[in-house]
A = this chain, B = another copy of it.
């Protein structure tokens, strides 16, 4: 089986964006705020939104199931306050639940959290519990920078985040560390902001001691780990200069990277540098790059091809990347897959 650990609902019906626009427009006059019930999307509309997109692409590429979460750039935690985010997260997660119910063979849910700048992440716990326990989701997306590029929150290793980590550990679900839209003109959301956040998250974890306090907490750093694998020697050397344990010992029981790197040389480096046990197949389709690479004739984000074409990987290693590691990193995934059968 090929499990894509990184897919967002980027193709949701227009009604969702329209509802969000009304919510944003009403921030200065809450009396005008739309109620969640005013968002009406039929099952047919949901089917249509994924059948000719994610599901068709899964079939074309021969992948089986996607861990599916709300559109990352639309999380936009910087908008409004905690109430704004709580309503919005609930709506988006419920849509994901409906899609996973309509297509249980294609999608397993992961949730967004109702983060809000400066708001302690305790406010995310009830939505997380709802999604894991009621909806059967298997993971959550954690935004290290809900301010949208201003980086106002404490580092991920700060105790500020601990109540949320306690709940993640209790529920036995990993978090994918994933920022949302940049509202800073200096950053491009899916160009540098996403990659920089990945690199910053990695460095925060390197410097801190989070996994001493949470030995079973697991993070997926998406987009191939940002710049971390390319600069693995730099980070190994910095850890050594700081008298820290080796990266393998300090981080790699808890930190994993996906394969959202959109060319063969990048995936070759990733699989050469990072132990195979720490790499999870992901494509982020339909996502940041939608075209066909004229150099290969295939979609840039058809990352299965790159993994298939890495020379020197054994069948067992490839199976770990495609399936085995995801089953280990998402402990609830096996049961979720069984339940749908």
Contacts and interface: CB of A to CB of B under 8 A. Distances in A.
Nearest to A156: B186
Given A191-B206, A234-B288, 9 more contacts: A187-B203, A192-B227, A223-B234, A224-B231, A263-B273, A265-B269, A265-B272, A265-B273, A268-B269
Interface string A162-182: 000000000000000000000
Contact of A195 (B151, B187, B191, B199): B199
Nearest to A158: B185
Interface stretch (A114-122, A129-137, A235-243): A235-243
Nearest to A153: B186
B195 A231 contact: yes
Given A263-B233, A265-B232, A291 B192 contact: no
A268 B264 CA distance: 13
Contacts of A61: none
A192 B187 contact: no
A199 B227 contact: yes
Given A192-B196, A238-B288, A224 B233 contact: no
A161 interface: no
B230 A269 contact: yes
A211 interface: no
Contact of A262 (B155, B237, B264): B237
Number of copies: 2
B230 A230 contact: yes
Given A227-B226, A230-B269, A191 B293 contact: no
Interface string A293-309: 11000001100000000
Contacts of A268: 269
A233 B261 contact: yes
A148 interface: no
A204 interface: yes
A184 interface: yes
B293 A233 contact: yes
A22 interface: no
Contacts of A51: none
Q: Which of A145, A203, A234, A237 has the most CB of B within 10 A?
A: A234
Nearest to A299: B237
A180 to B, nearest CB: 16
A56 interface: no
Given A192-B196, A202-B192, A265-B272, A300 B187 contact: no
A78 to B, nearest CB: 15
Interface in A102-131: none
Contact of A238 (B191, B230, B233, B237): B191
A237 B303 CA distance: 13
A290 B192 contact: no
27 contacts: A153-B186, A155-B186, A187-B203, A191-B234, A192-B200, A192-B227, A195-B196, A196-B199, A223-B231, A227-B230, A230-B269, A233-B261, A233-B289, A233-B293, A234-B261, A234-B263, A234-B288, A236-B263, A236-B293, A237-B289, A237-B290, A240-B291, A240-B294, A241-B289, A241-B290, A266-B269, A268-B269
